[in-house]
Structure 1
Amino acid sequence: MFKNSIDTLSIQVRTVTTLLPFLIMTIVGTSQNDKTIFILTSFLLTLFIGNNVIMCSIYALEEKRKGRGNYYQVIGIKPNTIILGNMIPWIIISFFSTILTFSLSIFIFHISVLSSHLLEIVFVIIILTIQSYCIGFVIAYFAVLKNNIKTAFYIFSIIQFFSGYIYPVDYIPAPLRYLVYVNPFFYGIDGFRQLLQLDYFLDISLYSKLGLVSFITVILVLGVKIISSKNWKWDNA
């Protein structure tokens, strides 16, 4: 009963955080176009980044369930190679489906998106994709260790809440904003919104922000190499 209650609560929290953008933008009374584009980008980024993170754990646990993880480990194949091999087709399909959904939504709802920074936008999307894989890979390590996909959902729910891509950071209580500042996703999302001329929080130059995002990504990639070198618990013992 306790276990089911925790699962239900986590679902309710994710539902509320998904609805918050609409509620907040309605309260502050911004224009309909700004409101729609903010919610649209938040929703699609949540799906794209979130699914990349979660799918790392799903693929890792699938390899464990089929017993292939132990086999790969015996012949010397690193966990990063195992999971990345599964993730590349998924990321490609997810990326293009997200772009298609975004384009169709803009056309159907007559949303105007003004930006002269197309190359920067592509760069940020690529960086966020790499970050989502890196974070997902680290979470997958703990999901395999605990042999439970729920571990991935719980960890990601916390990251999601303090990332800035569900709703503006301005609405997070000041004492909790330190959790936002240590969230790798925050800086890429903030830069993405700045490029789309939406509300953004970090008041530094765009290229300083892109440099910071790149630096964080390098650290995450190094983290993947470290976690991949560990002995993963591929057996169920």
Structure 2
Amino acid sequence: MEPTTRTFLSKALFSLTIGSNDVLNYFQPSIPFFEENKVSPTVFQDFMISNLTVQLKRLHGLGARKFVVVGVGPLGCIPFVRALRLVASGKCSVEVNTLIQGYNRKLSALLQHLNQELGPEAMFVYANSYDVVTGIIQNYRHYGFDNGEDPCCGGYFPPYVCFKGSNANMSSTLCDNRSKYVFWDAYHPTEAANIIISEKLLNGDQRFCSPLNIHKLYSYNLPSWPME
């Protein structure tokens, strides 16, 4: 590898946000509907961690040195899952969030292990999106939102479809002011919520990013690689 390429890669930030779709697919109804053909939550978590470990080490082998790995957020609280699991207003799916919390603990432990194994010439940061988003949902009025559980796009009732059809006169139901909603659609936060999330991950303390926040990771000086 050319020295200039090596230097560029060592200073670049590699951000990985992965796992949410895997969790959503795990909790989707089986086909046929009543068939119990899923692995246990523990096996599922371990499978996700195993696959991610392989890919992180592969990126490291290709020259990546600064990693931000984002944990899975509280999907048990998003409109889609609440509708799918028939969760009451103001509540979240305990089953879904319990699996996610278990996975996130294993992810955090994995990144700590990689910092010990591959450090000090590499740094793996765990971004705790679960607690950040949970805090926003639970204290949404504190952050200036009026609605912490319904989607802006798609209306107030399942299936919260958010799209614009081929007919120009057909479009989804939109809220009056998306900046007052935590959720944009059945799955994703609004821009206003994402700004808050980004700020906490960029500049927050170790409750939100560990062992250091993204801003500090950007400025972090890794040991120089020896010239070949």
Q: TM-score, normalised by structure 1?
A: 0.35
| Larger fraction in strand | 2
Bigger radius of gyration: 2
| Larger fraction in helix | 1
